[in-house]
Amino acid sequence: MATWTQYPVTQRRRSCFATLCEGLGGLRLSASMFSGSGAVATAVALVAAAGCEATTGDAGDAAAGQRVSADASAAGETASSAPDADGLGDDAVQGVTSGDAAEADVPVAPVELPPCLAPSFPQLDRYPPGTVLLFDAAEGTEVALTWNDGEVPTWSPGPELMLPTTPGPVHVHARSVGCEAVATAVTDARIEVADGFASSADVAIDADDPTISGWASEVTHVSYGTGVDETWRTPEEALGPAGDDALATLVLGNGGQVTLGFDPSIRDEPGPDFAVFENAFLQFYELAFVEVSSDGVHFERFASRYLGTVPVSPFGAHDSTWIGGLAGKHPLGFGTAFDLEWLHSAPAVQLGLVDLDAIRHVRIIDIIGDGETLDSFGAPIYDPTPTAGSGGFDLDGIARLSSDP
């Protein structure tokens, strides 16, 4: 099985790109990431930029492995067309030498290194007063708050940053330190400090909203969870415009998921970029995580926050102002809005694995709301549990709000 280990170069590169070679937030490099058409170019570019080397066998055998060249043709002999032990064929391993190839090192072609990753954090449009944000970076982090445009940040040691205890807008800043690239590794975001999350009347998207430019056009994957009868396993109901028929939905089941495709793609523009519609009623909110992808392989999840503290019974209700960054908090005919701007600091976005100007896939993952699943801040998420027959998230549609490319 192919493994990826860090190539011993400068300390600067070691620090800045440990996230690539050692993994960050599920982005560990492995052969399985690079299967399929176009995979070789992605593998070569990422591995060469990170200073990694491809090996066969255990990471301890790295010295016997062949380095990956930024120019695939410079890599010398390639693996045979027969699938390897991982079941990967030619398309997955072209340009990467196999363990049976000659053991002489092939020099890595010179590449221009990208800057260190900027610190990432669970970004929402608003947070309760006094929320502590935790920034994640490969090395050290400095953080700051400002209140006015153009105000110069006063930096303090991170990675934690406490938001003000009084409501109002504020700018949060974070930068990586120790990578010799501080100027380009900065995260800036304008957020709102508020008591709870806005009610449905404040931010919900009406299914007839004139800003809707299109709807999901295909189901690329569906996996049903528990507690969903065959009657409700209707993927076609998730396509096209959302409506006012509470029964015309795709029911995912407890823990189920579905991925919908868009053509044209969703783009990051000012304001919300898409909206997810469920068939909630009378504060009976079934919740789901939302993830996006530009290639159908690499997904990035929106941050979430749940402020409720007690379990919700199978037919119980909870307050929509407790719910942030999750789909399903609005009644039938109204969608929960998502802004791609909230993902700017996400590792997959910074690494170029997810292109926010070309989102072609949106994945909805039902949350089993028994408190075992946690939000981005480590708090339990509750929703009506247990449910059966039509259990889990009921997807009515996903609307594109951004303009056509």
Q: Using one digit for the tens of pLDDT, what is the confidence trace for 111-161?
A: 344 557 899 999 998 999 999 999 998 778 999 999 998 899 999 999 999
| Residue 177, pLDDT score | 85
User: How many Cβ atoms sit within 10 Å of the Cβ of residue 351?
Assistant: 19
Give yes or no on whether 126-193 and 200-400 have one common fold.
Answer: no
Please say if the pLDDT value at position 163 is more than 70. yes
| Residue 28, pLDDT score | 33
Q: How confident is the model over 51-61, as pLDDT tens digits?
A: 443 333 333 33
| Residue 115, pLDDT score | 55
Residue pair 94/31 in contact (Cβ under 8 Å)? The answer is no
Right CATH number for 200-400 from 1.10.1760.20, 2.60.120.260, 3.30.230.10, 2.60.120.10?
2.60.120.260
126-193 has CATH 3.40.1090 classification: no
| Residues β-bridged to residue 173 | 144, 188
| Residue 20, pLDDT score | 38
Average pLDDT of the segment spanning 349-357: 95
Please say if the pLDDT value at position 391 is more than 70. yes
Domain ranges within the chain, ordered by starting residue:
2-93, 126-193, 200-400
Q: Which helix (H) or strand (E) holds 201?
A: helix 200-203
Residue pair 9/51 in contact (Cβ under 8 Å)? The answer is yes
Please say if the pLDDT value at position 232 is more than 90. yes
Which tokens in the block code for residue 63?
Answer: 């010295």
Which tokens in the block code for residue 131?
Answer: 């929320």
User: How many Cβ atoms sit within 10 Å of the Cβ of residue 314?
Assistant: 11
Please say if the pLDDT value at position 348 is more than 60. yes
Average pLDDT of the segment spanning 363-367: 98
Please say if the pLDDT value at position 339 is more than 50. yes
In the three-class reduction of DSSP (H, G, I as helix; E, B as strand; rest coil), residue 180 is classed as coil
| Residue 198, pLDDT score | 66
* Among 141, 139, 185, CA closest to 15: 139
Q: How confident is the model over 165-206, as pLDDT tens digits?
A: 999 999 999 998 877 654 557 899 999 999 887 654 467 899
Say how far apart CA 138 and CA 227 lie, in whole Å: 41
Number of residues that make up the chain: 405
pTM exceeds 0.85, yes or no: no
Residue pair 322/382 in contact (Cβ under 8 Å)? The answer is no
DSSP 80-111: -SS--TTS--HHHHTTS--TTS--S--PPPP-
